[in-house]
Amino acid sequence: MRALALLGVFLIAKLTVMAGRPLPPSGWVPVAFFWQDALAALTFGALDRSVNRPWFGWSIYCAAVPYIAINAAVERVLSSPLTWPMIGAARGTLSDSIKHHTTLPNLGLVSLVLAAGLAFPLLVVRLRLPFRMIMAMALLVMGLGPLATARIETNGLDRNPLLALATTALPRLSSSGVEPISGGAWRASPFGSPASAAADLSRLRGVAKNRNVVMVVLESAGARYLRPYGASNDPMPNLSNMANSAIVFENAYSVYPESIKGLFSVLCSRYPAMDTNQDSYSRIVTPGIASILKAAGYHTALFHSGRFMYLGMESVVQNRGYDVIEDAGDIGGNVQSSFGVDEPSTVRRALAWVDSLPRSDRFFLTYLPIAGHHPYDTPEPGPFPELQDRDRYLNALHYCDSAVGALLRELRDRGIDQKTLFIMFGDHGEAFGQHSGNFAHSQFIYEENIHVPYLISLPGITDREIRVPDTVSLIDTAPTILDFLGLSSRPDYQGSSAIDTRPAMGLFYTDYSLGLVGLRDGRWKYIYELESRRSELFDLDQDPSETTDLSGSLPDRTATYHNLLLRWSQAQKALIQRETSTN
């Protein structure tokens, strides 16, 4: 009886999640979306009967129903049940985002599922529902489930919240018996690459010798929303102005669509790995770019408008060669939020540090804004009417750009800009439903999640816009900076200098919700979902919005990319595990 009631609660929750969403016209839809709910209910029923203690069954039921109700609201917003990585991220820093979604409709949805949890045990008893027949149907649905999900694109909405919690606590990928491989050999296209159409940047190798370095990592800045990348609006005019005399990389990709692991790839030119937590990266001994520059005589500092406590950022930034690292707690600021402080306060703190240095000394300044992150709150109104979240996001980017503009202007007024190398890029993108269920940034690896702006400016040297169409990765950042400065890179760096402008693939993944690995190879973009074993292949030249899957019509290319990505992700996991277990 309790298993049947729980199945009813699962069905009500799933129906509230699916309401209003477009569904494929197929008879497999009910099986594809409900089979995991049937599996969870049957598993609970078997456990309940084996223990055969009413108090045990009711305790599990009473704990499960509120969790299911909360997940229904989460899935309406994020199109994913809670996973262990998502629960790990839901710390105090996210309280403003959680408040933003604590709306009457979402509270009503939670109340509906809770009410179903109270009502179904009574209904099962009073209506004398045919337990065996219903469970037999559930068993049939469960058995056909894997076949149905192979035919229907579910984007992970078929997952049951209890099973999602259990499965994401387990490794998604095995690295047993895999030989760890370092270096960047994975990025050579298995199909060969056509000659690069990019401008020859080799003349710029070493031109920034003895210059300062200012690196700005823009929070949640997707390339598609910015004027230099074809957007009709211009939310970041200072960035656009910088692009007029900078090297603009048209196809730059984050390694992981989330800030912390992405920052590790930037600072240490190393890929993070599937099924690894942030804390493990503190044991990676590869020196960060700040360590190398400090050894070369640079003063080094990192200023973050957010909070290092979020998702364990301390493990990535501590002991990486920065003389000074300050976040919102150190900076204070005029405006406080759960995410951090106002950007002007961070810029003032950074400039004060620059002013404290002897003018003849070189410095490496890293600025990490937080503006751009959901819930896109800004202390002052922006230029875009706020009709929806995307408008608020554009205003947040504009607010961030104002602070970046102030930093650039103040450095110029001090006469420092002419002896400085500027590098500015987004840490990941931001999604607003361009693909079904794709919101925010961490759940998927479509273009809106991982295609980022990437600009390098050398005042006095780059006096015009230079556009580079080749694919580059944020993992290339440290080698690129060193190449401009005329300093040697490291053999354990997995990125390569963007000055080379030789064709290379971009590799990326996420394990925040679904397990997804992907690559960009020239015009081709490939994505593989570990759970459903589904492939997607897109020709971005003809289909930049990633709407037409060509994997079925190009099986050889699909299979080659699939095998390469599995080997890469397994080898990278083996490499990280080996290093973190011995250090």
What would you report as the CA-atom Rg of the chain, rounded to the nearest whole angstrom? 25
Distance from C-alpha of 563 to C-alpha of 551, rounded to nearest angstrom = 14
Q: What is the SS3 assignment for 530-555? A: CCCCEEEEEECCCCCCCCCCCCCCCH
For residue 535, the cross-strand partners are 528
One-letter identity of residue 184? G
Contacts of 423 (CB under 8 A, 6+ apart): 213, 214, 215, 216, 455, 456, 457, 477, 480, 481
Q: Which tens digit of pLDDT belongs to each residue from 516-568?
A: 999 999 999 999 999 889 999 999 999 999 999 999 999 999 999 999 999 99
Q: How far is CA 198 from CA 475, 499, 558, 569, in A?
A: 19, 10, 27, 29
pLDDT recorded at residue 337: 61
pLDDT recorded at residue 140: 82
Q: Which residues of the chain have pLDDT under 50?
A: none
Structural domains in the chain, CATH included, are 2-167 (no CATH), 185-582 (3.40.720.10)
Q: Decide: 358 and 295 in contact? Cβ < 8 Å.
A: no
pLDDT recorded at residue 1: 75
Structure-derived torsion over alpha carbons of residues 405, 406, 412, 417, reported in degrees to the nearest 10: -60
pLDDT recorded at residue 145: 85
Q: Which tens digit of pLDDT belongs to each residue from 331-365?
A: 987 766 657 889 999 999 999 999 999 999 999 99
Look up the pTM and report it. 0.92
